[in-house]
Amino acid sequence: MSEIKDKMLQRFLKYVTFDTESCDDATTVPTTPGQMTFAQYLKEELQSMGLAEIVLDDKGYLYATLPSNSTKELPVIGFISHLDTSPDMSGRDVKPRVVHSYGGGNVVLDEKEDIILSVNDFPEILNYKGDDLVVTDGHTLLGADDKAGIAEIVSAVEYLQAHPEIEHGKIRIAFNPDEEIGRGAHNFNVPLFGCDWAYTVDGSAEGEIEFENFNAGSASFAIQGCNVHPGYAKGKMLNALRVATEIVSSIPATESPECTDGYQGFYHLMSINGGVDSAEVSYIIRDHCRETFERRMAFISKVADGIKAKYGAGVVTLTLKEQYRNMREQVEPKMYIIDLAKMAMVQAGVKPVVKPIRGGTDGAQLSFMGLPCPNLFAGGINFHSRYEFVSVQVMEKAVMTIVNIAAMVKDLK
């Protein structure tokens, strides 16, 4: 594996210099021009590698093929990562630095401004003692989410090209825009991709494999009050903000993100806006269990009904939407694709860690579009943060996991 380690690292260090932060307010696809610039760069790189069936569409979706070298009829598998970085933290002018053979302790990101990757705040960094860590200068995110995934997929393809003795079927790769704002799968061409199943390479710590995510919904309470002069308000005023606080008080605070983990669902208060005359309260609702999720959505409706019964039908209007579903429904009938990934990890010296995604993923939407698509680790830690880092050694293991999956497909029964 050391034969391509340096090239993989240099590839990743180049990728993170592209400003690909996505924008939730934009209506274009991709939502920012830097994503298309990066996609065009990748297209040229894949062409130089001699890949086949390379397509970059006008929305920034890039597809390519490593042809089969087997005489057998094998399933077509895919690997997917996203081009964009999160708008939660700037991704402009990223200045990565490699900490060689991390010895433990704090990592100073910017000495002048006293920006420190502290073991007190981020004790998980101690798990990577001895590894080479790529960090930021403390002023941007790194972009390992998900440029590490892209670098790993491209490096795995390069490794397979360099080792034709590794028998494999047709392998498809794809890089898409706008995953961080939930739109990555919206324009993904599943028929063109043409895979029996795929993996997103977009997870975090070494060994993670995820095939369960939240069922997701959103709720918006539009409140219409009645504003009159406060000196003459008795019996007339209906303060929309007070109604908003009643709604919030009706929803269990102990079932919020800060009070839950693992498989526990939640109600997440996103915003309260407005004044006396009108206001709006917004929530997102999440749960891994479909039945519990539906009960949560029904509970939100009961809260709205209670406000209507108290103040009148026109006081509150509830908009309740389902956003996405738990991909386990689609993956579970084909659990051999999870077993395959586990075996590939073990062969790469990685202990598989099956865990639920406390969020969404392109793979969830793709799974319901007919492409079962669990998620594999890419190695990045502290995503969306100035404290983001990734271990080069973990990235290597991710590359070998991809290579092993490709090589082991022929042995499926």
Active-site residue set: 84, 179
The helix (H) or strand (E) run that includes residue 2 is helix 2-15
- State how far the Cα of 386 lies from the Cα of 389, in Å rounded to an integer: 9
Both tokens of 260, joined, read 């839950």
Q: Can you tell me which residue has the tokens 């029996």?
A: 196
For residues 175 and 348, give the distance between their C-alpha atoms in angstroms, rounded to a whole number.
Answer: 24
CA distance linking residue 390 with residue 206, whole number of Å = 10
CA atoms of 307 and 75, how far apart (whole Å): 55
Q: How far apart are CA 169 and CA 68, in angstroms?
A: 4
How far is residue 375's CA from residue 366's CA, in Å, rounded to a whole number?
Answer: 11
Q: Are 77 and 169 in contact (CB under 8 A)?
A: yes
**In 229-278, which ranges are continuous DSSP H helix?**
240-250
DSSP annotation of 93 reads T
Rounded to whole angstroms, the Cα distance separating 5 from 155 reads 9
Going through 316-365 in order, the beta strands assigned E by DSSP cover 316-324, 353-354
CA distance 318 to 314: 11
